[in-house]
């Protein structure tokens, strides 16, 4: 069954609606960044750049590094934007845009998030890197899709709900495992690894108090105190769980690599976060293109 024009929306030039790119702009390796300005900070290391475009906060550059073709795309902040970008990337790879039919031979993408994050533990300092073995989502996004139970790690969810005495008025937390092969590729003695919590906002949902009181106010302590079968929640950000959930549902490999710019446990912020981000970018490019 083909997709209606109101569901699979194309621009006049044949590009997909929000991302503003066509199928030929989707490399097998996709790097996602939240900040639109970070796209050029990645692509400046490319051997060559073959394509650039921007629509709203979604900036895309396509090029090669060490002979490997890469698409780097900004998502903006939040899981709602991830829902747009991940679905459109998959549509470009696996739906015939001319007919609206799903292709019989589905293509698997490698999707790696290069993000910034806050550490929840004193032993994961600012300016270090974290690879996310799992994403913990508080956004509820995955419950808007059928058959998500097959990709969720229910035992982790149940253990966390019990540990946190979770408020039933809020969306049910969910856990999704990242790509084991990408985790192996991106891990080294320069990285820590653990569960990355994905918040629905920057202030109250991450326990920050300005004028409004967070609920619960001790969310960071709740998260940092969770342990299950050797796993712990290492850091907080705003995109990973949705990337993991949608990628796994759609058959793609996904991993999140974050540089720690804040340590919530000791109240520190990086003195030069841009230098740390640049080191993370170079680290990821080298690791992902090693033959």
Predicted structure pTM score: 0.95
Q: Answer yes or no: is pLDDT of 1 > 70.
A: no
Given this model, what pLDDT does residue 2 score? 66
Evaluate whether 64 touches 70 at the Cβ level (below 8 Å).
Answer: yes
Q: How many whole angstroms from its chain centre is CA 264?
A: 20
Q: Answer yes or no: is pLDDT of 49 > 70.
A: yes
Q: Give 52 or 267, the one with higher predicted confidence.
A: 52
Confidence of residue 6 (pLDDT cuts 50, 70, 90): confident
Question: Domain map of the chain by residue range?
Answer: 23-288
**Lowest-pLDDT range of 3-7, 159-163, 266-270:** 3-7
Confidence of residue 168 (pLDDT cuts 50, 70, 90): very high
Could you tell me whether strands 231-237 and 101-102 are parallel, antiparallel, or unpaired per DSSP bridges?
unpaired
**Mean pLDDT over residues 18-29, rounded?**
98
- Percent of the chain residues topping a pLDDT of 70: 99
> Which letter does DSSP use for residue 72 in this model?
E
Average pLDDT, the chain: 95
Fold of 23-288: Rossmann fold (3.40.50)
Q: Answer yes or no: is pLDDT of 12 > 90.
A: yes
Evaluate whether 69 touches 62 at the Cβ level (below 8 Å).
Answer: yes
Evaluate whether 199 touches 205 at the Cβ level (below 8 Å).
Answer: yes
User: Alpha-carbon distance 93 to 97, whole Å?
Assistant: 10
Sequence-ordered list of residues with C-beta below 8 angstroms from that of 238, at least 6 positions apart, any chain? 34, 77, 78, 79, 198, 199, 200, 201, 202
Q: Answer yes or no: is pLDDT of 291 > 70.
A: no
Q: Tell me the longest C-alpha to C-alpha distance in the chain.
A: 55
Residue 256, beta-bridge partner list? 113
Q: Answer yes or no: is pLDDT of 3 > 90.
A: no
- Residue identified by tokens 């992902």 is 288
- Percent of the chain residues topping a pLDDT of 90: 95
List, for residues 222-240, the tens digit of each pLDDT value.
Answer: 999 999 999 999 999 999 9
List, for residues 245-256, the tens digit of each pLDDT value.
Answer: 999 999 999 999
Could you tell me whether strands 29-33 and 68-74 are parallel, antiparallel, or unpaired per DSSP bridges?
parallel
């Amino acid at each position: 069954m083909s997709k209606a024009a109101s569901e699979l929306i194309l621009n006049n030039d044949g590009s997909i609606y929000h991302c503003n790119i066509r199928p030929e702009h989707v490399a097998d390796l996709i790097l996602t960044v939240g900040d639109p300005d970070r796209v050029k900070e990645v692509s400046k290391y490319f051997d060559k750049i073959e394509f650039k475009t921007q629509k709203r906060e979604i900036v895309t550059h396509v090029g090669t590094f060490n002979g490997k073709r890469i698409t780097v795309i900004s998502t903006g902040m939040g899981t709602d934007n991830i829902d747009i970008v991940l679905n459109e990337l998959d549509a470009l790879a696996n739906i015939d845009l001319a007919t609206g039919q799903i292709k019989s031979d589905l293509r698997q993408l490698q999707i790696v998030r290069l993000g910034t994050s806050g550490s929840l533990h004193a032993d994961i300092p600012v300016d270090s890197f974290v690879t996310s073995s799992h994403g913990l989502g508080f956004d509820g996004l995955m419950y808007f899709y059928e058959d998500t139970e097959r990709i969720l790690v229910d035992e982790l969810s149940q253990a966390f709900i019990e540990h946190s005495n979770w408020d039933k008025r809020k969306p049910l937390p969910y856990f999704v495992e990242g790509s084991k092969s990408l985790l192996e590729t991106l891990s080294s003695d320069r990285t820590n690894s653990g569960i990355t919590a994905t918040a629905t906002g920057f202030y109250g949902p991450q326990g920050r108090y300005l004028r409004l009181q967070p609920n619960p106010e001790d969310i960071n302590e709740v998260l940092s105190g969770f342990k299950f079968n050797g796993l712990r929640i290492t850091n907080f950000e705003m995109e990973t769980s949705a990337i993991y959930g949608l990628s796994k549902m759609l058959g793609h490999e996904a991993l999140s690599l974050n540089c720690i710019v804040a340590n919530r446990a000791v109240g520190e912020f990086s003195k030069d976060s841009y230098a740390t981000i640049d080191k993370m970018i170079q680290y990821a490019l080298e690791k992902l293109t090693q033959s």
